[in-house]
Structure 1
Amino acid sequence: MDDNPTTDYLGTRLRHLLDQLEGDVTRTYTDLGLPDFRPRYTPIIRIVDTHGPQSIRQLATTIGITHSAISQTANQMRRDGLVELHPGTDARHRIVHLTDHTRTLLPTLHAEWNATTAAARQLDAELPYPLSQLVELALQAITDKPLHHRIRDHLHTP
């Protein structure tokens, strides 16, 4: 091991980066008077606001994360009064609807989303490689060949 943090501690460094980014967005929500709003709510609200009520499955597919993760987030959002969950045509499906309370927050949320997008573009421009593009490329590479397989290719046990 050569103690190069960019490779030896990649997972730790990625978590640190995500914590920094998410923490700053969370602080912005607090500054806007929304101390309980979580950044992970944003994609759900944006999609439902733009495209109307969506099933948990549709949201998971559109956002590109697991059904379970969307379901857990939607349940927390329901407890926070941001969405309502209605049964779909099939009893196993739940449809996410924005509450009236969330609709009143939309102008503030739109302003924050626009500012965050501009800040992310500014960050991308300061880096030798745009972070947003690098993340997409990394996710595709991991989809093509999971890290587990890559590790196994290099693992030599006694």
Structure 2
Amino acid sequence: MPDLQSPGPHALDPTHESLWRPLRLLQDSMDADIARIYSEERIDGLKPSFVMELLRLHARGPMTITELADSVHRTHSALSQKVAAMRAAGWVRTVVGDDARSKKVMLTDQARRVVGRLAAEWRATEAALADLEAEIPYPLSRVVADIEQALERKTFHDRIAEKLAEDPAWS
């Protein structure tokens, strides 16, 4: 007979429950499908997470890490790490910027050779997403907009802080 007084493994490890894990797993699966497209086309070493920055550099030309980060709404630190990974994979190179403290990021010849195909993939992916959204009763883009509106009313920080204030384990 089970001991009803002792907590189960889920009580000790709250990570077994996650409302957003399925969304992350779905996005990972979809990114893997995009990566498979690249692999099938022998575009080796390209991660789907690099494409926005590569397309942005193609459209706007060389930018500092700060400019590129601002243009894709990422932090300088996150973009600096991504640029390092893209540089290691051969997609971008960096040169000293206008002042010695900054670096300009630019596409390599390897990236320039495939950037048209990357733009085509971006358009195809957006069209496929539009098709998916047409098949479901409540499109994810609407969910995101609704969540953004709710967070304008009360920030996620404030919502978490309120829940923590109710939890004796936090005090």
Give the TM-score, by structure 1 length: 0.83
Considering only aligned residues, what root-mean-square deviation do their CA atoms show, in Å?
A: 2.1
Structure 1 position 107, deviation (Å): 2.9
**Seq. identity, %:** 38
Number of aligned residue pairs: 151
Q: Which residue identity does 1:116 align to in structure 2?
A: T
2:142 pairs with 1:129: no
Distance in 2 between the 1:28 and 1:146 partners?
38
Structure 1 position 99, deviation (Å): 0.8
In the alignment, which residue of structure 1 is the partner of 2:73? 64
In the alignment, which residue of structure 2 is the partner of 1:49? 58
Distance in 2 between the 1:26 and 1:52 partners?
25
Q: Which residue identity does 2:59 align to in structure 1?
A: T
Q: Which residue identity does 1:121 align to in structure 2?
A: A
Q: Which residue identity does 1:83 align to in structure 2?
A: V
Structure 1 position 67, deviation (Å): 1.2
Q: Which residue identity does 1:130 align to in structure 2?
A: P
Distance in 2 between the 1:157 and 1:49 partners?
50
Give the TM-score, by structure 2 length: 0.77
Query: Cα–Cα, structure 1 residues 111 and 157, in superposed 2: closer, same or farther, change >3 Å?
Result: closer
Aligned with 1:106 (options 115, 131, 148): 115
Query: Cα–Cα, structure 1 residues 25 and 49, in superposed 2: closer, same or farther, change >3 Å?
Result: same
Report the secondary structure of 1:46's partner residue.
Answer: helix
Residues 106-138 of structure 1, C-alpha deviations (whole Å, 9 max, x = no match):
232222222112111112222323323433553
In the alignment, which residue of structure 1 is the partner of 2:167? 157
User: Larger % of helix: which?
Assistant: 1
Structure 1 outlier segments of 4+, above 6 Å: none
In the alignment, which residue of structure 2 is the partner of 1:3? none
Structure 1 position 147, deviation (Å): 2.5
Unaligned stretches of 5+ residues in structure 1: 1-7
Aligned with 2:100 (options 69, 91, 104): 91
Structure 1 position 150, deviation (Å): 0.6
Distance in 2 between the 1:69 and 1:117 partners?
24
Query: Cα–Cα, structure 1 residues 129 and 153, in superposed 2: closer, same or farther, change >3 Å?
Result: same
Higher mean C-alpha displacement, 42-51 vs 87-96: 87-96
Query: Cα–Cα, structure 1 residues 110 and 145, in superposed 2: closer, same or farther, change >3 Å?
Result: same
Report the secondary structure of 1:97's partner residue.
Answer: strand
Q: Which residue identity does 2:162 align to in structure 1?
A: D
Q: Is the CA contact 2:93–2:107 (under 8 Å) kept in the aligned structure 1?
A: yes
Distance in 1 between the 2:32 and 2:162 partners?
36
Structure 1 position 35, deviation (Å): 3.6
1:111-122 alignment runs, 5 A limit: 111-122=120-131
In the alignment, which residue of structure 1 is the partner of 2:22? 13
Unaligned stretches of 5+ residues in structure 2: 1-16
